[in-house]
Structure 1
Amino acid sequence: MEQLWRQAPMPAVRVRDGAGAPGWELNDAARQWLAASGLAPAEFEQWIAGLHSPGDADRLFGHPVAQRVRCRTIALDDGRLIWLVPEAAPRAGPEHDRELIERALYMSDVSVWWVDSELRNIHFIRRGALALGNSGDVFKVPLADHRGQMHPDDVQAVARAAQQAMSSDRVADAMVRYALPEGGFRTLLTRRVAQRDADGRLLGLLGISIDLSDLAAERERSLRLSDRMRLAAETIGLGFWSRAVGDGPVDWDDQMYRLHHRPPSEGPPSLDEWLERHVHALDRDWMRERQQQSYAQWPPVDDLMFRIPVPGSDEVRWIHARTRRVERDGRRVSFGVHVDVTEQEIARLALAGERERLGFVLEAAGVGVWERRLDGRPSYLSDVGYRLRGREPSPLPMEEVIAESADPADFAAGEAALRRDIERGETYRHEYRVRWPDGELRWLASFGRAVRDSAGRVLYVAGIDIDITERRNAEAVARERLRAEQASRAKTEFLARMSHELRTPLNAVLGFATLLMHDRDEPPSVRQQERLARIETAGRKLLLMIDEVLDLAGDDSTAAPLLFEPLPLDELAADAVQRAQAAAREAGVELRLAARPLEGLVTSDRLRLSRVIDQLIDNAVRFNWPGGIVELRSWAEERADAPGWVLALRDTGRGMSAEQLKAAFEPFQRLGVEQEAIDGPGIGLAIVRRYVERLRGQIDVDSRPGRGSEFRIWLPQAPLPAIAAPPLLPESPRAAAPRPAATPALRVLAVEDNPVNLLLLREVFGMRPALAVELCEDGGSAIERAAAFTPEVVLLDLQLPDMTGVEVMQRLRADPRHARCRYIALSANAMPDDVQAARDAGFDDYWTKPIDVRRFLAAIDQLVVGFAAAPG
């Protein structure tokens, strides 16, 4: 266009818009015409300023004689082009006609040329020469030169067209590309016909050329675009189709046939055939209904997915179809594309399944998912997230749900932690409390991480919520357990200290009372013996009460270990009756066994079971009436499919009410006899129940006020026959003493720092004059004395002023001279842990204070016998 208006023979004005561009510009013909008019440029600019609307207009132009000019305004992207056609007086003659024709051809972009009969030259009008890049003065060009300007591939086509025109009267066409001086080619449609004289002789060829360069370039671009689109469609598997509603044509491209496995020779199917043959049976009905809705409503765009079968197999392919519907010339036409998305759909379904499984796992695990948006968009909280806060899923925003359910202090701390962690780029972690609508308090743990864009800006924070209430409760329980264990250790330490502090003075009371009662050198009088017996009885009762209180205050870990063995009920009951006969006679109560012997062999601990029987007999005597009866009997009984025996104690005493029975086994319950002259701290039955439970037994009671009570102890049956009980220790320590001539000497080293206890040991050992005894008050002197004395038995107090008894034992054991020595701990610490610790440290035995003189001497006698029988 730019070259056309500049070289045109008609006056033309180019008006440009925009900053920096000239306001208007004239071609050569316009400059000549303006100069001849005598109009100043400023007046001309003002004249053309009114020609801004596209179309034709008539204007008067010039002076002193005005001339009518027809103006044609053409709108351009950056302005407009104004063609000026001055009105002139008609001129007759061929030259004028030629000029008019030339102008018309120029405006129509058509050039005229002819070739002489000798085919030597080609003649142009001015437009033809300009079109090929020649100067405006060239009107005749040698034909050989002209053909040399053609594209080599087009020369033969032009020659054939010329030959066809010369050999007939038909018009012959040829498309020709001409090389331009500035480079590139101009594409022309050439049309030629032979000129002949009256006799039919060839005068030459007359022809025209139409410039189709722009059309050819556009066609080339269209072809390239079409090729690219076709290649892209083939690459991604796009199939194109079109269909006119009714009996209109249907068109499928090659890809459509391949997608639907249809031979191209069959042509495109009708809609019904396509649905029946090419749509999967599972999608056919809804697709047919969808098509009917589309015809009725005619939506402009439709997008859907469906399946197609693969002939000869069970394979199914997924097709994504996008349809466009238009109306053209009153007729409805639909067209669109199909693309195979089977792999994508399989991947999508797999991903959807994975998400569904993940969602199921998260829901089953009680994990809530959330997204906190920071860009003003709505945040997200999963259904589980709502339920973790005791709420059903709702449109209520996540921020409101959190603020409403969280503890205010925890909420503020959580918001601060969220901002801090985002700024630091760290993972957000926070534990906080939430209160459910029903008031229940739960604990949640939140974990989150910021999601950022490419510039590093935070878009949102994604995270999860987990209910940690059980963990928090477990931690609280663990803390309580730790506190309880600490308290238990403190209690154990206290009990151990109390046991030691209480047993130490009782050691002297009981020991010296026993020595006084059985002193052969200075025997007490009968009255003194009675007084000493009461002192010893009171002391032993006090010791028993100390043991019971400590046992009641402790637990199984602090209680002394049990020694289970087969025990006959008859022997245990007979011994208990014998021990209680004196108290029963004094209270005027008859104490008896229902039969002799009582049946029953049980597995139990002798000491604890004897204590249980003694306590029950003592209660039955003390809470009875003068003239009352206490009777013991037994029978076999199974409980929980386990065989066992019941030892029952029935009395005719006061009895208990239902309220008293409820508290009977609670410690320190006197059951309403506080104002009566019945002694006792009220812990007997509590001790009884504790012992029975530790003995793997059961205890129950029937009682009625004024009619007495019956206590029943059930114990598991022993699988083995009873072992004969050892003979009772003699009442008099001196009576059991072996004769000096028959007893071998035994070297004993006793270490005791308490002067009273040391004196007691000296008196007790004095009752065995055949022994060689050394007494020491501390560990250092004991180690020094042992080197010369070489004891066979070492009795060690564990708490010495200069070192522990364990340390003394270990240093003596390290000396080979004391390899045969036996080490016995002698301590007021009677707690099981203390006993076990001493044995673990290396002691052979552990004797507790206060000393029972009779048992102490019996044990010493056994050591004498044992060393006498040992070889070497």
Structure 2
Amino acid sequence: MRAHELPANEAERLQCLAELGLSQPPAQPEPDAVLDGLVRCAAHLLGYPIALISLVGERRMWFKARYGTEVVDCEREASFCAHTILGETLFEVPDATTDPRFATSPWVIGATRLRSYAGLPIRLGNLTLGALCVGDTVPRRLDAVQATLLADIANAVGAWFAHRREHVDLLASRTHLQAQAELLGRLSSETPGMLFQYRSAPGYGGELGFISGQAEHVFGPMAPLQLQGLRAFAERVHPEDLPGLLRTMREAEADQQAWQRLFRVCLPDAERPAWRSGRASPSLQADGGVLWHGFIADVDEHIEIENLRRDKFAAEQASAAKSAFLSRASHELRTPLNAVIGFSQLLLLSHEEPLTPRQQERIEWVLDSAKRLHQLVDGLLDVDRAEPGRPSRFDAGAEADDAFTLLYIEDEPLNTLLVQEALRDRPDWRVLHAGDGRAGLALAKTQKPVVVLTDINLPGLSGLDVVRELRADAALAGTLCIALSADATPGQIERAMQAGFDDYWTKPLDILELAGRLADALARHGGR
């Protein structure tokens, strides 16, 4: 046959044969009682010795059912049925020996000695798969009744192939569904939560269509019958959370919107309720019902972590507030004590205007009370009084021929006066003063002091910033820097030491030890 004698939808026709598994004869043909009965009926009803149901493949034609011949298949080009499938009506050859298309066909000149042929196409939808045909070894034609009978049988054969199509599609769909079910089973077993499908109904009368294997983990052990309804799950929800959960589900169903909610469940033998997170999306069905697909996750550990994180944050905030309070309280309480203790000591040491015994006794009472108040403040504020660099004994240190320059940066005039008075009678010390951080840095660059003694809470530039800039200046990086602050909290001391201070002293300052502590600090600093 030439290419133009192929059906217009040849590719689709061959594809359909392949999908039905009918492109070629099976290695082990199995008789089909229905088709075998139909070809037998065709032969006897029409009085033909040969009746066949053929399927025309790309190059060969084979017989799905046959009667009166042992031939299984043949070349497509040599077949009568290849012509039958080109049309939609009866194709008949009364005498093949006189028809140039078939005079040399193996069916005509071979052992079969076929002389006459009549066939109708077998159609499945708009596709022709093959033919139902009858043949005889003598020339003949079908009469009108015979043609009608052949058409009826051809329709029955077509119905068989339609059923075959449905059967193949059903098997493919079932295989696909089984594969999806297996995949869903694997995924649900590995998903840390419960997948579910639920058809809603009034009350608890809904139907659970699917529940993944994690249901027992999410809601606890349940009897198999319990898994068929919603009531068993609802009974596991915490009584305080159940009304809100049901209200959320009802509102979502009324609005045809997805719902999501946190709730607690009461598991058997559990010490406390466990947190769960549920969500589901609705799908309105043709009968008016609502099908929900959802997921319920075990979020108990996540909630606990969030609670711990929140508690930790609150504790840190409280600790920061406490530290800020202690820092402020320490500064506000110690600053006036510094002046009281310091000036009391100066009065006791004054040689220019010596005190009377009675005055000296009263000043000692003031000094003793101030020191006890100092101890009370430290205890009240829970301050560690072990200050860095505090000497274990009084040591005035070795005096140099030239006076040491001390730069004191302090914005409180009384504190400044106290340090100046404490070192006024010490020729080995020269005291410079700056009232803020910027002025102190300027003096340090011009005077090159041996020691920089600075408060922390300064206007403008803080004491921490001052020491950082000193350390960044090559000419001043080695200067002995000591913090003198009323803030005695450990956090402030740590920040100061990290900023670059060599030592940290706290107020109130014992002026009797000031010179000795300076000498001790210089000795340690010079020994580095």
Q: What secondary structure does 1:432 align onto?
A: strand
Task: Provide Cα deviations, 1:215-269, integer angstroms capped at 9, x if missing partner.
Answer: 45424653785699599989999xxxxxxxxxxxxxxxxxxxxxxxxxxxxxxxx
Task: Give the aligned partner of residue 403 of structure 2.
Answer: 745
Amino acid at match of 1:501: E
Shift of 1:360: 4.1
Higher RCO, 1 or 2 (CA under 8 Å, sep at least 6)?
2
Distance 1:380 1:835 in 2: 67
The equivalences for 1:722-801 within 5 A come to 728-729=393-394, 736=396, 738=398, 742-779=400-437, 781-783=439-441, 785-786=443-444, 788-801=446-459
Shift of 1:765: 1.3
Cα 1:419–1:835 shift into 2, 3 Å: farther
Distance 2:231 2:166 in 1: 51
Cα 1:784–1:478 shift into 2, 3 Å: closer
The equivalences for 1:69-148 within 5 A come to none
Q: 1:409 aligns with which of 220, 244, 264?
A: 244
The equivalences for 1:423-502 within 5 A come to 428-434=259-265, 441-451=273-283, 460-502=291-333
Q: What secondary structure does 1:861 align onto?
A: helix
CA contact (8 A) 1:778 1:800 kept: yes
Task: Provide Cα deviations, 1:3-26, integer angstroms capped at 9, x if missing partner.
Answer: xxxxxxxxxxxxxxxxxxxxxxxx
Distance 1:746 1:494 in 2: 37
Q: Does 1:843 align with 2:485?
A: no
Task: Give the aligned partner of residue 335 of structure 2.
Answer: 504
The equivalences for 1:641-656 within 5 A come to none
Distance 2:160 2:527 in 1: 116
Cα 1:373–1:561 shift into 2, 3 Å: farther
Distance 1:230 1:782 in 2: 104
Shift of 1:463: 1.0
Aligned residues: 391
Cα 1:483–1:516 shift into 2, 3 Å: same
Task: Give the aligned partner of residue 378 of structure 1.
Answer: 207
Shift of 1:495: 1.0
Amino acid at match of 2:196: V
Q: What secondary structure does 2:308 align onto?
A: helix
Distance 2:460 2:245 in 1: 58
Distance 2:488 2:522 in 1: 25
Shift of 1:829: 0.7
Pick the structure with more strand per residue: 1
Distance 1:401 1:805 in 2: 68
Amino acid at match of 1:775: H
The equivalences for 1:194-233 within 5 A come to 213-215=144-146, 217-219=148-150, 221-222=152-153
Shift of 1:358: 4.5
The equivalences for 1:782-861 within 5 A come to 782-783=440-441, 785-786=443-444, 788-809=446-467, 818-861=476-519
Amino acid at match of 2:308: V
Distance 2:156 2:375 in 1: 112
Amino acid at match of 2:456: L
Task: Give the aligned partner of residue 688 of structure 1.
Answer: none
Q: 1:541 aligns with which of 363, 372, 383?
A: 372
Distance 1:869 1:231 in 2: 105
Q: What secondary structure does 1:749 align onto?
A: strand
Task: Give the aligned partner of residue 862 of structure 1.
Answer: 520
Task: Provide Cα deviations, 1:708-749, integer angstroms capped at 9, x if missing partner.
Answer: xxxxxxxxxxxxxxxxxx87326xxxxx4645xx44421111
Q: What secondary structure does 1:430 align onto?
A: strand
Cα 1:370–1:431 shift into 2, 3 Å: farther
Pick the structure with more helix per residue: 2
CA contact (8 A) 2:405 2:450 kept: yes
Distance 1:840 1:866 in 2: 18
The equivalences for 1:255-404 within 5 A come to 357-358=186-187, 360-361=189-190, 365-373=192-200, 378-380=207-209, 382=211, 385=215, 388-389=218-219, 392-393=222-223, 394=225, 398=229, 400=231
Shift of 1:482: 2.0
Distance 1:768 1:223 in 2: 132
Shift of 1:467: 2.7
CA contact (8 A) 2:206 2:229 kept: no
Amino acid at match of 1:762: Q
List gaps (5 residues or longer) in structure 1: 1-149, 157-173, 178-186, 190-208, 238-340, 553-558, 564-605, 608-725, 731-735
Distance 1:522 1:544 in 2: 30
Cα 1:511–1:215 shift into 2, 3 Å: same
CA contact (8 A) 1:381 1:398 kept: no
Q: Cα RMSD (Å) of the superposition?
A: 5.1
Shift of 1:759: 1.9
Cα 1:462–1:560 shift into 2, 3 Å: farther
CA contact (8 A) 1:560 1:831 kept: no
Amino acid at match of 2:409: V
Amino acid at match of 1:445: S
Shift of 1:853: 2.7
Shift of 1:430: 2.9
Q: What secondary structure does 1:367 align onto?
A: strand
Distance 1:231 1:411 in 2: 49
Shift of 1:768: 1.9
The equivalences for 1:140-159 within 5 A come to 152-153=94-95
Shift of 1:494: 0.7
Distance 2:117 2:363 in 1: 152
Amino acid at match of 1:841: A
Amino acid at match of 2:413: P
Shift of 1:793: 1.9
Shift of 1:435: 5.9
Distance 1:784 1:806 in 2: 16
The equivalences for 1:602-751 within 5 A come to 728-729=393-394, 736=396, 738=398, 742-751=400-409
CA contact (8 A) 2:193 2:295 kept: no
Task: Provide Cα deviations, 1:281-301, integer angstroms capped at 9, x if missing partner.
Answer: xxxxxxxxxxxxxxxxxxxxx
Distance 1:761 1:562 in 2: 19
Cα 1:549–1:743 shift into 2, 3 Å: farther
Distance 2:96 2:158 in 1: 24
CA contact (8 A) 1:367 1:465 kept: yes
Task: Give the aligned partner of residue 23 of structure 1.
Answer: none
CA contact (8 A) 1:746 1:772 kept: yes
List gaps (5 residues or longer) in structure 2: 1-91, 99-114, 119-133
Shift of 1:472: 2.5
TM-score (norm 1): 0.37
Q: What secondary structure does 1:551 align onto?
A: coil
Shift of 1:388: 4.0
Distance 1:561 1:412 in 2: 62
Q: What secondary structure does 2:335 align onto?
A: helix
Amino acid at match of 2:149: E
Distance 1:176 1:468 in 2: 77
Distance 1:416 1:231 in 2: 47
Amino acid at match of 1:446: G
